[in-house]
Amino acid sequence: MELQNKIAVVTGANKGIGLECVQQLLDKGATVVGICRSGCNQTHPSYSCLKADVRNWEDLSAAFNEILAKYGKIDILINNAGLGYFGHCDELPLEQWHEMFDTNVTGLFYATRLALPSMKQHGEGHIINISSIAGLEGYQQVSAYCATKFAVRGFSDALYKEVRDFGVKVTCVYPGSVKTDFFRHSKNIKAHDNMLMPQDVAQQIIYCLESPPNFHNVNLEIRPLKPRG
């Protein structure tokens, strides 16, 4: 897809991988709309930010309706909004379980459901779902987070088969540990320089988006070469 003048929506756009995707899409000439719970700090003539919580259907519907009313279509959706809590299964607060599923899974489903009609109507589109290597294999003390990311994996695998005949691509991305504030909820793991850099993960996402029309990168697994230095 040629990214010049394409309409891209990025959830969780104010930091980490989401922010890097916004910046790199803008560099490619796309028009970008960020969706954030707390608002966005990015400024650019081709960028706008809508404040919405992906967990809230009414919030998100209003945001997507505004986007479609202004631009008439959505070409790209990057489902980046997500979070993780650490803890043993029998000790994890129930509200953290629900927050992770509501954000990582339900919010992703909501955004996808709202973007798909435009993509199918125009016969073109690309949905990027950010999962994790925790969606490929389980890790102790993040069982609930793993469950959400395995759900994203299953949803993505089914969805690409559902929409490919409409010209819509679905790519699920499985990053290893990324140097972001994701680990703010962990007592034992702190971000460090041997983790993946968010700008490098975003660069690979841009590569997927720019692939030729009949080239479909369904799964993208990215890991640090030397995760512990």
Annotated active-site residue 145? The verdict is yes
Q: What 3-state DSSP class applies to 227?
A: coil
Establish if 225 belongs to a structural domain. Answer: no
Total structural domains within the chain: 1
Catalytic hit among 110, 145, 160, 174? 145
Closest by CA to 111, choosing from 70, 67, 72, 141, is: 67
The reported pTM is 0.93
CA distance linking residue 57 with residue 48, whole number of Å: 20
- Size of the chain in residues: 229
pLDDT tens track, the chain, 229 positions:
999 999 999 999 999 999 999 999 999 999 999 999 987 778 899 999 999 999 999 999 999 999 999 999 999 999 999 999 999 999 999 999 999 999 999 999 999 999 999 999 999 999 999 999 999 999 999 999 999 999 999 999 999 999 999 999 999 999 988 865 565 555 555 555 678 999 999 999 999 999 999 999 999 999 998 767 5
Sequence-separated (6 or more) residues with CB below 8 Å from residue 147 = 101
Does 203 fall in a domain?
A: yes
Give the pair of three-digit tokens for residue 190.
Answer: 């702190």
Helix (H, G, I), strand (E, B) or coil at 110: helix
Asked whether residue 227 is domain-assigned, the answer is: no
Torsion of CA 107, 109, 114, 116, to 10 degrees: 150
Beta bridge partners of 9: 33, 77
Give domain status of residue 204, yes or no: yes
Looking at residue 190, its pLDDT comes to: 55
- 208: CATH: 3.40.50.720
Question: Is the residue at 113 inside a domain?
Answer: yes
- List the domain range (segments joined by +) for residue 134: 7-220
